[in-house]
Structures are given as C-alpha cells and as structure tokens.
Structure 1
Amino acid sequence: MLVNRSPATFLSRRYVHSLGNLKMDIPQIHSEADGAIGTMGQIHLAAGKQVAMRQWREDPGQYSESHCRDYETVGFLLTGVIEIELDGGKATIEAGDSWLVPEGAPHRYRIVEPIVAIEATSPPACFGDRDEMDSITHKQHTS
C-alpha cells in the first residue's frame, strides 16, 4: 500500500508493509544519513519485505572468520580492494566489480585497501526483529 504523506514532495512517499502483526513504515527513498548502524558496522539503507541494502566502509585488516549466512548477498564495490575466499577459490574484487555469495556458502574476506561497498541481501539480513548476527554460522575454513 502506498501512502503519500505530502502530495507536494516525492521524497516523503513511503511504503507501508504488513506482515501479520508486524507493520513497518518503510521509506521509499533512503539517504546514507538516515541509515542505522548495524551490529557489524554497516549502514542500513533501504529495506523491503524481500530485499535490503547496506553500505560498508572498512579499512584494511586480516581475513574474517569463515562463516555462512541464511540469506543470499550480492555486492558492488565502489572503491578499494577486497579478497574473498568462497567455494574453495579466492578472488580479488576491485572498484567496479560485483559479487554473489549464495545462501549457506562458507566464505571469508579480507579488506586489502579501504573500501566503500553496497550490498543487497535476500531475504533481508535485518528486518523487524531479525538481525544479521542471528543468521551467521561459523565454518572451519579449509584453505
């Protein structure tokens, strides 16, 4: 259902979603300044019932612990360099590259140069009472 709170401006339009007893007033346009900071340091951007976006700004560091998620992730690297280990292979992701991490796939990453990246998750990594930290399963990495 589309609710227009002010006919004078497009920026105030919002979608209102109802999932049983859970009702969420979701902005149709979402700025970085409006984003909440997630438990892993990401900035939550627009989110709906089926997909959510988040922004990452991270500095170089060691490989993350290998883990799996109960959602699919696609990403686009705006700036920087990332190394990712996934499905027994290793890839270098540079600015302008995109990636897919399938649901349940063990993976880990290392930030090589400071990054800004946008990811979308489906189903949403964070929605209502669901938090992305609840969806992590740590796996022993074999490489």
Structure 2
Amino acid sequence: MADKTVVKVDATHAPKGPEGQHYLAAGRSLSMRLWKNEAPDAAKPPVRRDYETVGFVIAGRAELSIEGQMIRLEPGESWIVPRGAEHSYRILEAFTAVEATHPPAEVHGRDHPPAA
C-alpha cells in the first residue's frame, strides 16, 4: 500500500533548529530546511555531518569551504555537500537559502552542533 501521508509546513510557523534553521517538510528519507536572512559573520568551524545536503541560494552571498575547496554561493546557484565531507560556511551578505538533507538532518541529533 502506498504511503498517503501529506505534510505541509508554513515557513512562518516552522520550528527552529539549534543554529537558527527553520525545519520545513520532512519525510522518512529526506527533509527541507530554510536559512532565512542569516547575518554576515566569521567562518563557522569546520564540521562533518552524517547526512548529504543539497542547497539553493535565494538571496545574499556566502562562501562554502569543502574539503579544501572554496566556492562562492550567490542567488540562483545550488550546491552539494556530500555526507561526511568536512565543510564550513561564511556568510558574506544577508543570506537566505533552502536545503534538503538525506537522511533528515533533524532526526537522531544529526543537526546539533558537534560536541566540543
């Protein structure tokens, strides 16, 4: 029997994650999140996550450092961070982007900042 679950999430009322992300619709194997108007800041410390991420820039600019490569992210561009890849972001200009993660980042503590 097909799964007939329908999920609708209004971004204005979406729950927030530990780093300010808004959790949007989520299924069993993937989820979406919104980074809304993130302020410019210093580069975040490098992390490795137990999920794959694809993203799309809606507004603003950022730099993504991934496995020794630096790429600039601008409106209309998309990117992928493979599962387990060391990466960090630096917001250059108020940044809004949508990401999808597989498996869902917000499940089993995958999205929490790494322990020091």
Higher relative contact order (CA 8 A, sep 6+): 2
Correspondence 1:1-143 to 2 at 5 A = 1-2=3-4, 15=5, 27-57=6-36, 58-127=38-107, 130-131=108-109, 132-133=111-112, 136=114
1:54-77 CA-to-partner distances (Å, cap 9, x unmatched) read 000210000000010000000000
Q: Is the partner of 1:46 in helix, strand or coil?
A: strand
Question: Which amino acid is the alignment partner of residue 74 of structure 1?
Answer: V
Deviation at 1:89, TM superposition (A): 1.1
Separation in 2 of the partners of 1:74 and 1:94?
14
Q: Which runs of 5+ in 1 are unaligned?
A: 3-14, 16-26, 139-143
Q: Is the partner of 1:67 in helix, strand or coil?
A: coil
Q: Given the two structures, how large is their TM-score scaled by the length of structure 2? A: 0.90
Deviation at 1:87, TM superposition (A): 1.7
Separation in 2 of the partners of 1:126 and 1:90?
26
State the 4+ residue runs in structure 1 displaced beyond 6 angstroms: none
Structure 1 residues 137 and 93: alpha-carbon distance in aligned structure 2, compared to 1, 3 A threshold:
farther
Q: Is the partner of 1:69 in helix, strand or coil?
A: coil
Q: Percent identity?
A: 38
Q: Given the two structures, how large is their TM-score scaled by the length of structure 1? A: 0.73
Deviation at 1:116, TM superposition (A): 0.7
Instruction: Point out the structure with the larger strand share.
Output: 1
Question: Which amino acid is the alignment partner of residue 39 of structure 1?
Answer: P
CA contact (8 A) 1:69 1:137 kept: no
CA contact (8 A) 1:44 1:54 kept: yes
Cα RMSD after superposing both structures: 1.6
Deviation at 1:52, TM superposition (A): 0.4
Question: Which amino acid is the alignment partner of residue 66 of structure 2?
Answer: L
Count residues in correspondence.
Answer: 112
Larger radius of gyration: 1
Q: Which runs of 5+ in 2 are unaligned?
A: none
